[in-house]
Structure 1
Amino acid sequence: MKHRTLRGVAALTLGASLLLAGCGSSDGGADDETSDSPTASDAASSNPADVAALEAVTVTGDAGAEPTVEFETPFTVTGAVSRSLDEGDGETIEAGQEITMHTVGFSGADGTKAGSTWETDSPEQLVLDENLYPQLLDVVVGKKVGTRFLFASTQADQATGESATFLTVAEVTGVEDAPVVPDPADVPDRAEGESVTPEDGLPTVTLDDSGTPSVEIPDGYEAPSELIVQPLIKGDGPEVTADQTVIAHYTGWTFDGKAFDSSWERGEPSTFPLNGVIAGWTEGLAGQTVGSQVLLVIPSDMAYGEQGTPDGSIPPDSPLVFVVDILAAY
């Protein structure tokens, strides 16, 4: 979940982790004119070397299917850079709209695949607003549904602190007007509702005065084979559906009790499409009510599975524990 709205949880959603986060990126402007074959004029970056790096990437394959991507490693860029691969032939995409897209991402260091929404058949949602890298807006706005593009950026590897490059190929599958986002002034700071007594034997959650959770995982606690969803506070808001976007506070822990990410620590809640995160979140939060606080104990195969996360913050085959306050949904 390393995007503007879930920055810090290592890639709950592939495309978001690689495409969002970037208001501070260097400026760049794509040409208004496009061609059938991508050229340097289709790229957006302030660094010619980064433009040249994307020009050397080869993408082949039919529209609608995961492409074949070839590039030499190590692949590096100094900042965000994008390249249009084709115009698309559907509806024109405008700023402020919401797109759905398929993505496949790769580590620039060794070319390993970081994940693919084609494999899970779960295209991601993305609102084309000022929270995105300018380079991403440049390569999408004005194009049409069906357009494919390349995007590369650098991130700090949480395990080493060193800079790492990730490369993404995306294909826009749909566009519609963006949903009306709740006014931040109307979003509460924490879950509010009726307390629920959890089942015995689960990790114990304690809240400080601000509502920030901590967790104590019992000695010898074994990872479940199925998702555990335990409401701790029952909110009185509407029921959340899997196709909504959720505003939430959360903290996540590995089974050794180590917190690997927390919106509470960042001082603001996070926003994410519920169909664009790990399965444990999608299935665990859908059906809960706004205002609720939920304990999720997630088996590895509903989290990051055999791969873990690219930055190493979550090792392979790691079950996870989350406490999530559902503050709003739309």
Structure 2
Amino acid sequence: MLRRSRPVAALCAVVLLSALTACGSDPEEGTADEAGSATGELSEVSFTGEVGEGLTAEWSAAVEQPEETRVETLVAGDGEEVAEGDTVTAYLYVGNGSTQEDVFSDYDNGAPESIPNDEQVGEVFLEMMDGATYGSRVVAVTTPTDLLGESAESNSLGLGLDDSVVVVMDLVEKQETSPTPSSDEAEDASPDSQPTVESKGGDPVGLDFSGLEEPALDAPVQRLVIEEGDGEPVTASDTVTVDYLGAVYDADAPFDESYSRGEPLVSPLSGLIPGWSIGLDGVPVGSRVLLQIPPAYGYGTQGSPPNIPGNATLWFLIDVVAAE
């Protein structure tokens, strides 16, 4: 629940770290639609279904592994061009072009991805979004190594290193972004501005928001140190061991907590939502803190269904057990 939201997580985290220089589509290989945009096709496989509604692959022959990634537009959408820094709501499909098998589909999984058009997604996806318009269906023919980088050899998709990979991205729409907080640093909060901790048997079980108004979405991270420890201060590069409880505004119950499980969370701060790094930076080990985290530093406009809606401010009670 606390992890950073990453596109293509079901594929492999290293997809986001792949580094290749892909070639763009050649407009001479496609046919022009009425708007003059190039559209292409693969002779070995065809795709049916409307963009954003469904996708079915029909294979007629194996796809030869390319020497370098190639990208083509199968359907040219009539929306705006995808801009650098956009977060794109997209459906992804991955097929093994050598065995002519489907290996991953967001349509089968029932939900699209939130894909940022920036360097964190890797060059294959950057090339697929480069110059594309919303409403488009774009295909890349690539290799496991180009797509998955160092994890290609032991990937969870069952792709062999000599296989070809067919990746389809349906660029549905630009995702709204959460308001930018007025500061990227934590502010010290007063107790009367924050919910109180509800406990049972000595363990926290919830937060009481009585008398508190929901904060503005652009409010910075708010930090209330309930008990200050005497250990070393936490840094953003640390791996932390913590007990925690998280809730949204006026919730009847927390959306997640570790106290009842008896197993603290152990994780690099860099792998958690940004609000944790901002709020815990400088906090001594042994402290109990309450963090109020705006959606931009939490789960953004997409939230984390079913318990965290989009654009939700988050509250976390955190006991910092250790940091190294």
TM-score, normalised relative to structure 2: 0.48
TM-score, normalised relative to structure 1: 0.47
Q: Which structure has the larger Rg?
A: 2
